[in-house]
Structures are given as structure tokens and as C-alpha cells.
Amino acid sequence: SDVCSSDLTGNIKAQDILLTGLEKLEYRGYDSAGIAYFKENGKISIRKTAGKVKDLRAICDDNDATCGIGHTRWATHGGVTNANAHPHKSGSVSLIHNGIIENYHELATTYELEDRLISETDTEVAAALFDKFYDGKNPIEAIKEVIPLLKGSFAFCIMFENRPGVIYAVRNVSPMVAATSKEGSFIASDLTAFIEYSKRYFIVPEYAILTMEADKIDLQDLNGNTIEPEFLEVDWDMTAAQKEGYPTFMLKEINEQPAAINRTIMPRIKDGLPSFEEDGIPDSFFADCSDITIVACGTAMYAGMVGKTLMQDILGIPVTVAIASEFRYERPVITDKSVVIVVSQSGETIDTLEALRLAKTKTNKTLSIVNVKGSSIARESNYVLYTHAGPEIAVASTKAYTVQAAAFYLLTCKLALVQNAMSEADARAFISNLENVSDNIAEVLKLSDKVEQLTKRMLNASHTFFIGRGSDYTLSMEGALKLKEISYIHAEAYAAGELKHGTIALISEGVPVIALATQSHVYNKVISNIREVKARGAYVILLSMDEKITDATICDTHISLPKVPEQFAVFEAVVILQMIAYFTSTGKGLNADQPRNLAKSVTVE
Ligand code: M6R
């Protein structure tokens, strides 16, 4: 299960704070919700349901409780049912959980818990185990005994009956942040849940046991030693996480891209050249590098592919892109001269985090490109390059992709300079082109009406294809992912030259094909491939930097992108692809911000 918890143990009413906190985390994606709170007699009341927080609100009565826990679940073990929703109660224990207890089955058998279970979840086994070890007097002792038995990832918030006003918490891998303010104490999987109460917070250290009361949070390790939390301060507030007049977060974030790119690149351009001095990355990091492996998931991985194409082209060294969830289970060839770049908007994607941990066993040249400050991946990599895009709320990643790509452009230029693969004059010209990217994107955003219009042709499609060559192929993958995740239309990305080896059999009358042709060295080749699908009845939407294409044997609709040096075309082309996905989704009447089955931050394997 995946948790978004927001807990308060305080002097003001908890229920509304919990429900509002859960609403703030709705963007992360979930399928059930629940809360638990202490009643006046020290007993615990639970309300939970499959569905949305508004459904949970509907079954909650007004109450005066000042201490409670809340959760939204993204199903992993067991279907989307009321019984599987959190909190889970077993005897004196009520808890919520983010993560997966991998050995839950074994634990249930070994400790004979089966008869006590009413749900299909791994979480309930943990609740039953805590209760089994609880002597009715000392919750911390029970936690200390249970934690070493658990395999997997977890962030638990636990309430013990007859201990009103106290919440216990402990985590391994799964994220958890906490704060105390004049309104009470808070703990959540994401700061957004309580940022309006406190901008000063701390990341809960792994395996620290927290005891949270209205006015204080105590931390101790599994041996009982006191731990001092390290406080951090956020530099954004809820206004950055609001729609500001846009109908959706996704549209807002698409439009924020020019500003976001500037925030990523400008502080790192000194005297017309890239500089990572303020990030604390020494030149030796760039000099002594034999090969590069980029590891990430989803859109972050596709941004990595943009990086790979550019780096390999300019640096002439091997660059590999690995799917984080595969990387861990392969035998990655990494030496102490290899640079490993992990890319993650949230900095909490567990596959990427675990891949980073593996990479660190082989090289200490790990660098992360991360948006969320202080996140696990940022903290654990040897070096971090923050993208400063501001909070990304829509599940479908947009601005995070362009800033990650921009970070790769800066890094490539720096590597090329240090490795003498680029002259200083060429580097200055490269950086000046990068500085123009935000204006170019602003131009492309003006095409939104045209893009919305052309998506009308896509609304009834069951299958679509995205094709291109070289960097246009990597863009195709991102375009296809974006369309799939928010419009639920099957979309496949194909290297245009590969179509004829099988996939072209799927092209039939009217099937939309989004074709990209921004790269001159393969332009004629890709146009031939486009003609091949057109000849078989495809409805072709072509993106290129040509001013006009009127040849009906090539395309049905042409989007003319502003003319830029072709290495920089990815930025403007991807914005069109984002808009195609967005307007197809909204045109179908779907919720583009919160697509079904998806979570914003995937903290389970
Ligand atoms: O937070 P991360 O960048 O690590 O997330 C990686 C992927 O889960 C994410 O990019 C996902 O593919 C998005 N839904 C894409 O829009």
C-alpha cells in the first residue's frame, strides 16, 4: 500500500486537518481513504472507504478529537475495498502504512496471525504483529521488537488504545517528514499536507522511533538512544501548489516551463559558461569519467534519453540509459570511473533510490538530478543538481521533464569543456542557444489553440503511434507515455525506421500517427517512413521546423516549430506533445491531473 498520511496530535480538532491534508495529497493518486482518531474514553474510532476523500468526508461525523491519523491507499496487496483501506486495527493497535511488507505471509504464519485478519493487505499483518508484541503498557518496546522482523519498506503511524494524544511512527525507505508548531505536531509522507502549519520540518531518520505529542516529538533509535532531528526550512508555500487561475495543475505546469527552465539554468551559467561551483561539484568529477549510466523511471528516464543522445554525440563516450527497476536486477557494468546520473522529480521513487544505492557500491561518482529538496535521492547521491522547477502537482510530469533535459544540456557542456570535446567558443554558442530555450517554449505555447483543435481528431482513437529518429525517437517515447497516462488511449512509440519490421501491420485507415522530423541528418529518411504510414491510411500529424508542408502524401496536419538549432528542438517539440496529451485528455472529459491507477510518487517497488 502507498500512504499519504497527515497526522496531528494537537490542541485543535484533528478531523478537518486530516481530511484537508489528505485532499492536499490527492494529486499523488490513490483509490481509498481513511482516518482514525482517539475518542474521549481513549478508544479509537475508524472511518474508511474505497473512493475519494470526499466519500470519506461524507461518512465522518463531527467530533472533538484532537489526535488522529489519515491515509490514502494505492492498492498493491488486495483490491480496492473498504476492508483493505487504511487505517487497520488489530486489538489495541490502529495504524496506517506506506510501503510493502514483503514477508507478510511468512509473518502471518509464523506468529499465527491468520485468524485475526479481515483484509487482504500486508499492512494488517503488521498491525496484528504490533498488537501481539504489545503488553498493554509499553508501545515503544513492541515497536522495537517488531521492526527487525519486517522485510520491505514501511512508514508507519501507529496509535495504541488508551494512549490518547500520542502517535508513534517509524520508517524504513518510505518517506516521512514531521514538524511541531503552535497548532500541534504533524507527520506526513509529503510536506504539502502540513506546510500551512509549519515550513520548518525534519526528515524522519530511518529506523528512528518517533513519539509524537501535541507539543513535542521525541526520537530514539532502536537501542533507546535519543536522536536529535535535523531541521530544514522550505522555500515555497501553498501558493506555489495552487492552480492560479488555470483549470488544472497540468496546464499550469506546462505553461510554467519557460520560467522553470530559467530557474534551472541561469544560476549555473557564469560568464557564458556552465558552472556547478554552487552545487559543490568539482571539475575532477567531470574530468575522470570513462562512461556514463543514467538511471530513472518513466518521464525522468525519457529525459535521461535526451541526455544520452546529446552526451554520446558530443562527448563520444559510452552513455547507457537504464530503467531503474531493471538496473537493480541486472549486472550493471559500472567501475569507479563510471559516472552514474539518477534522475527523479520527486527524489523518492523507490526503484530509482534503490538503483542509486546499488550504484554507490560500485562508484562514488553518483549525481542526482532532482526537483524536491531534501528528498531521499538528493540526500543519498554523492552530488545533487536541484532543478528548482517548483512543486509539480499533476501526476503527468511536464515541467520536470524539460528542466531535467536542460540540466543534461548544462552537464554535457561542462563535461565537454573539461574533457576537451568542445572549444570554449563552441561552448559559449551552445550555452547561448540554451538561454534562448525559454523564449522558444513561450512561442510554442502560443500554438495551444491549434493543438487543441487537432486533438479533436484523436478523441475517438483506440490506437496511436509516435514515430521519429534519433532524439525525435526519444521524444516519441515521452509523447506516447504522456498520451497513454492521461487519455487512456493506447500509444506506441517507434523508431521510424523500425516500423517496417512488424509494427506497420497495425497501421490502418485513420490511425493517428504523430511524426517528428526535427533532425536534418535523418530528415529525408524519416519523411520516407512517414510516407509509408500515410500510404497505408494513417492520419499523420507532423511536427517539424519547416515553415509549411502542403504535400498531402506526407501529412494531414503540420505543426511548424520555431526554427532553432536542431540540438535544441527537443524542448519545443515536447511541449507540443504535452499539449496533444493534455487536450486529448480534457477533450475526452477526463481528469488530466489525476489519471486512474497512477500515483505521483511511486514509493513501492
Ligand atoms: O518522481 P520521479 O521523477 O522519480 O518519477 C518517475 C516516474 O514515476 C514519473 O516520471 C512518471 O512516469 C510520470 N507519471 C510521467 O508523467
Which residue, by CA, sits nearest to atom 8 of ligand 1? 298
Output the CA 403–ligand 1 centroid distance in Å.
14
Mutation to probe ligand 1, out of 297, 392, 403 (largest number of atoms < 8 A from CB): 297
Note whether 187 and 67 are within 8 A (CB).
no
Over residues 498-521, the mean pLDDT reads 92
pLDDT of residue 601: 77
pLDDT of residue 3: 43
Retrieve residue 472's grid coordinates: 525525435
Residue with cell 532553432: 564
Beta bridge partners of 294: 321, 341
**Calpha distance 321→87 (Å, rounded):** 39
Output the CA 389–ligand 1 centroid distance in Å.
14
**Calpha distance 120→123 (Å, rounded):** 9
- Grade residue 1 by pLDDT with cuts at 50, 70 and 90: very low
Measure CA 142 to chain center.
34
Please report the DSSP string for 332-361 in residue order: ----TTEEEEEEESSS--HHHHHHHHHHHT
Mutation to probe ligand 1, out of 346, 380, 386 (largest number of atoms < 8 A from CB): 346
pLDDT digits (tens, 9 = 90+) for 196-222: 899 899 999 999 999 999 989 999 999
pLDDT of residue 517: 97
**pLDDT over 70 at 238, yes or no:** no
Q: Which residues line ligand 1 (CB under 6 A)?
A: 297-300, 344-346, 349, 352, 395-397, 485, 598, 601-602
Mean model confidence pLDDT for the chain: 93
Select from 367, 363, 378, 372 the least CA-distant residue to 342. 367
pLDDT digits (tens, 9 = 90+) for 36-51: 999 999 999 999 999 9
pLDDT digits (tens, 9 = 90+) for 249-296: 999 999 999 999 999 999 999 999 999 999 999 999 999 899 999 999
Q: Which atom of ligand 1 is nearest to the CA of 602?
A: 8
273 vs 7: which has the higher pLDDT: 273
**Calpha distance 98→432 (Å, rounded):** 45
pLDDT digits (tens, 9 = 90+) for 440-473: 999 999 999 999 999 999 999 999 999 999 999 9
pLDDT of residue 7: 55
pLDDT digits (tens, 9 = 90+) for 126-177: 999 999 999 999 999 999 999 999 999 999 999 999 999 999 999 998 889 9
pLDDT digits (tens, 9 = 90+) for 29-88: 789 999 999 999 999 999 999 999 999 999 999 999 999 999 999 888 899 999 999 999
**pLDDT over 70 at 184, yes or no:** yes
- With a pLDDT cut of 70, the percent of the chain lying above it is 97
- With a pLDDT cut of 90, the percent of the chain lying above it is 82
Output the CA 308–ligand 1 centroid distance in Å.
18
**Calpha distance 554→549 (Å, rounded):** 8
Output the CA 481–ligand 1 centroid distance in Å.
10
**pLDDT over 60 at 6, yes or no:** no
Output the CA 241–ligand 1 centroid distance in Å.
18
Spell out the SS3 assignment of 214-236.
CCEEEEECCCCCECCCCEEECCC
Note whether 230 and 375 are within 8 A (CB).
no
Output the CA 297–ligand 1 centroid distance in Å.
6
pLDDT of residue 105: 96
Mutation to probe ligand 1, out of 397, 401, 403, 487 (largest number of atoms < 8 A from CB): 397
Note whether 285 and 365 are within 8 A (CB).
yes
Which residue, by CA, sits nearest to atom 14 of ligand 1? 396
pLDDT digits (tens, 9 = 90+) for 378-418: 999 999 999 999 989 999 999 999 999 999 999 999 999 99
